Amino acid sequence: MTEPTGGAVLGADGLLRCGWGESTDDYRVYHDTEWGRPVHGDDALFERVCLEAFQSGLSWLTILRRREGFRAAFAGFEIGKVAEFGEADKERLLADAGIIRNRAKIEAAIANARVARGLDGGLDALIWQFAADPDRPAPRTPGEVPAVTPESTALAKALKKAGFRFVGPTTAYALMQACGLVDDHLADCHVRTGGRKRRRRS
């Protein structure tokens, strides 16, 4: 049984974590090992841009459970390979039950690869210039976690100016959270506190 404390939730393993990270096993692993940790590298960030775009209008769990299918379908999200996808690849992707078969999002992923391939300085440099202030106070409750920030609005604007699609301010902020440009783990979440377990009352 879990119980709330300061916004975080106590798991069966005695660790406090953000409430969403206790909702399913898939989320627990993603929360504990990946979400909020810095991601670098053009291909790695391209994957996150694509997955956040595919998530639009859906739950992240839907994307997370299809992640390996996406990686197989999109050549491991190697920018150079996806940029070369043509009409046959679009039809292949539209028939692939292992991903979200949305034509507009599939076409956006391919178009975004072509934009990323031509970026001066690369995608990593473009995205990371909008990292939030690392000294920003930690949120104590889910209600203190924003959906949009000035940094995400600026990032979305920069991505759109470069030619990227499906990159509004909300999607950009989700990308920032997932890739460690901002740390939105709650103040007493074990990921932020370095694995500290809840102290038992004597």
> Token pair of 138, please?
């930690």
Cα separation, 101 vs 39, in Å, equals 26
Cα separation, 85 vs 136, in Å, equals 41
Whole-number Cα distances in Å, 124 to 47, 78, 141, 147: 12, 14, 30, 22
Q: Are 103 and 69 in contact (CB under 8 A)?
A: no
Q: Beta-carbon neighbour count of residue 57 at 10 Å?
A: 9
Cα separation, 184 vs 145, in Å, equals 7
Cα separation, 54 vs 73, in Å, equals 13
Which residues carry out catalysis?
30, 52, 60
> Token pair of 152, please?
């995400």
